[in-house]
């Protein structure tokens, strides 16, 4: 398996790419969500970092980010968090839905409770955040939503029935919203492959990641959170102003969908 890439964008390379934009990022306590929040602050955005347990403050100036605590399966809690961000920043220009949970049970063994929990967090939670943010995104006039699905939503494999179903649902939901909410709001989806996050590390040993998971990918390695964050940066910026409804696989060449 090849070494991880040395590329990390410098502040000069990303400076001002999100200047003036106010963006809510869910799942911002760790992993991909955390990487997105940190990158967006560096790119000049004001960021509301939302998680089930209030995340640590992001780097940047004191007025550039706030931490919001909400369970995305609770519509009222989500509405309060969105209003907190709007009150602090004076509006909302974008959302990135990175919150999610995994499940590796076989389809004939998963409990109904666990099935519902995965769907509730990954799919319904995404819906809750999008719907709460919609009026503010429309008012902004050039709103963006980036929903994180998964390579499992494109090309699933065994022991991922609930997870893959929830992530495939995110893709279909996002495409519908891209049609319904245009032209004032653009909605796009990112499908990461395996990424070096606490959630992935909890499911695989380092040896399995090196010897079994990495070789599934054309690039012969798993991804880094910053690589997914860079895709979210593009889809949240004016650089993608003519892009909506896409499903972008950032998966090292696993799915080739």
What is the overall mean pLDDT for the chain?
A: 93
Task: Name the strands in the sheet holding 143-148, side by side, starting at the edge strand that comes first in the sequence.
Answer: 65-69, 46-51, 22-26, 94-97, 143-148, 185-192, 247-250
Q: What is the pLDDT of residues 61-113, one digit of tens each?
A: 678 999 999 999 999 999 999 999 999 999 999 999 999 999 999 999 999 99
Q: Is 256 domain-assigned? A: no
Residues forming the active site: 163
Decide if pLDDT at 18 tops 50.
yes
Q: Name the domain count of the chain.
A: 1
What is the CATH number for 101? 3.40.50.720
Domain contains 218: yes
Q: Domain of 210?
A: 11-250
Taking residues 5-9, report their average pLDDT: 68
Residue 169 domain-assigned?
Answer: yes
pLDDT for 196 equals: 86
Q: Is residue 255 part of a domain?
A: no
Predicted local distance difference test score (pLDDT) of residue 47: 97
Q: Is the pTM of this model over 0.85?
A: yes
Helix and strand totals (H; E) in the chain: 10, 7
Residue 4 lies in a domain: no
For residue 3, the 8-state DSSP code is: P
In a domain, 80, yes or no: yes
Alpha helices in 43-111 (DSSP H): 75-89
Cβ-proximal residues to 119 (8 Å cutoff; 6+ apart), any chain:
162, 165, 166, 169
- Residue 63: the pLDDT is 84
Cβ–Cβ < 8 Å for 31, 192: no
Between 54 and 108, whose confidence is greater? 108
Q: How confident is the model at residue 11 (pLDDT cuts 50, 70, 90)?
A: confident
Query: pLDDT tens for residues 162-213?
Result: 999 999 999 999 999 999 999 999 999 999 998 988 878 777 787 888 778 8
Say how many C-beta atoms besides its own lie within 10 A of residue 119's C-beta.
18
b/e 12-21 (16+ beta carbons within 10 angstroms → b): eebeebbeeb
Q: What pLDDT, on a 0 to 100 scale, did the predictor assign at position 1?
A: 44
* Per-residue model confidence (pLDDT) at position 257: 63
Residue 257 lies in a domain: no
Task: Say if 5 falls within a structural domain.
Answer: no
Task: List the beta bridge partners of residue 47.
Answer: 23, 65
Please give the distance of CA 237 from its chain centroid, rounded to a whole number.
15
């Amino acid at each position: 398996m090849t070494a991880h890439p040395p590329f990390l964008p410098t502040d000069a390379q990303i400076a001002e790419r999100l200047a003036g934009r106010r963006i809510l990022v869910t799942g911002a306590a760790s992993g991909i969500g955390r990487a997105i929040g940190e990158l967006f602050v560096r790119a000049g955005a004001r960021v509301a970092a939302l998680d089930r347990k209030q995340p640590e403050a992001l780097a940047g100036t004191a007025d550039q980010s706030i931490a919001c605590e909400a369970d995305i399966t609770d519509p009222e809690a989500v509405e309060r968090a969105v209003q907190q961000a709007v009150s602090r920043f004076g509006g909302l220009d974008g959302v990135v839905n990175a919150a999610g949970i995994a499940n590796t049970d076989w389809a004939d063994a998963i409990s109904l409770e666990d099935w519902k929990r995965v769907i509730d967090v990954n799919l319904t939670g995404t819906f809750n955040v999008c719907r709460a943010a919609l009026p503010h995104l429309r008012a902004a006039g050039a709103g963006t939503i980036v929903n994180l699905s998964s390579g499992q939503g494109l090309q699933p494999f065994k022991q991922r029935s609930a997870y893959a179903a929830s992530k495939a649902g995110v893709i279909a939901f996002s495409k519908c919203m891209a049609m319904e909410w245009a032209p004032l709001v653009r909605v796009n989806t990112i499908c990461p492959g395996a990424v070096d996050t606490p959630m992935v590390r909890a499911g695989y040993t380092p040896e399995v990641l090196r010897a079994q998971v990495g070789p599934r990918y054309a690039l012969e390695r798993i991804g880094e959170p910053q690589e997914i964050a860079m895709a979210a940066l593009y889809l949240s910026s004016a650089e993608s102003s003519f892009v909506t409804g896409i499903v972008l696989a950032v998966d090292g060449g696993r799915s080739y969908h």
